[in-house]
Amino acid sequence: MLLGLLVLVVPGRGDEAADKQARLTPDECERLVEQFVNPGKPPFTGKGKPILPEGVSKSTIYERQKNVGPAYDKLSTNIEVALPILAKHVNDERFSYVYVQPSSGVYKTESVGGACSSIIHAHVEVHQQYTRKSRDDEGRSDSFSFIDAGCGGTNKWWKTRKHKTLAELQLEGIEWVLRQEKPEYFKSDEDWTRAKTALEKMAKEIRDSRKPIKVKHELRIELE
C-alpha cells in the first residue's frame, strides 16, 4: 500500500499547541479529500506500465497532481479529525495520482480511496514501527496488519469502531499483534522478543497517557 511513497513515520508526542492550531473541521477535511481528485484522466489503464505512454510527460503529471501532496499531508497532520472522513472515502475509485513503485520501477496509479487508506494505516498500525521487516533490496517488506488480516479490511474494521479514539484504535492493533505467534519473516526468537518488548512499552505509554502515538506521515510522490 505504501509503495511508491517516501513516507516519514516518526513516533513522538509532538507539540500540542501546534496540533490545536492545525486542527481542521470535518467540512474542511471533505474539501481536502476532494483535492485528491486528479483533474486529468489516468495516463494509462491496467495495473502498471514500465514506461509512460507516448505523449505523457512527467512535468504534466506533476502539474496535474500538485494539489494532492499538500492535501494529503494536512489530513495526515489532523488525523483525529480526518479519520471518519478518510474511512468514508476508502472505496472512492476516482483517479488521484501516478507514482513509481520502488520494488519494480513500474509506473502505477493510485485512487482517492487508496490515498485515504494509506493515511489510516500509517496512523493506526503504529506497531509496524517494530513489526515491519525489509524483504529485499528493492523496497519490499513484510508486516502484520490488524486492519486487513485481523479485521478483513478497512470497511469491516471501521464499521464497529467509529466511536473509538485514535489511542484506543492504536492500542487494539498493538494488543492484537502481541497475541500472534512469531511470523516467519522474523529471523529469530530473539528478534521477535525484542519487538514484543518494544510493543508492550508502546502499549503502556498509550494506556498511561490515554493519548495516541504521534506519527509524522507525509506523501512524497516519486516519478524517477
The residue extents of the domains of the chain are 16-209
pTM, full prediction: 0.88
Identify the bridge partners of residue 111 per DSSP, sorted by sequence position: 95
Mean pLDDT of the chain, nearest integer: 89
What is the C-alpha to C-alpha distance for residues 94 and 38, in angstroms, rounded to an integer? 8
56 pLDDT above the threshold of 80 = yes
Give the confidence band of 141 by pLDDT, cuts at 50, 70, 90.
low
Predicted pLDDT of residue 142: 80
Instruction: Output the CA–CA distances (angstroms, integers) from residue 163 to 84, 95, 159, in the order listed.
Output: 10, 30, 10
Least confidently predicted of 45-49, 72-76, 121-125, 153-157: 45-49
Predicted pLDDT of residue 93: 97
Query: Could you tell me the three cell numbers for 180?
Result: 500472534
pLDDT cut 70: percent of the chain above it: 87
pLDDT cut 90: percent of the chain above it: 76
Q: What is the pLDDT of residues 103-135, one digit of tens each?
A: 788 999 999 999 999 999 999 999 999 998 866
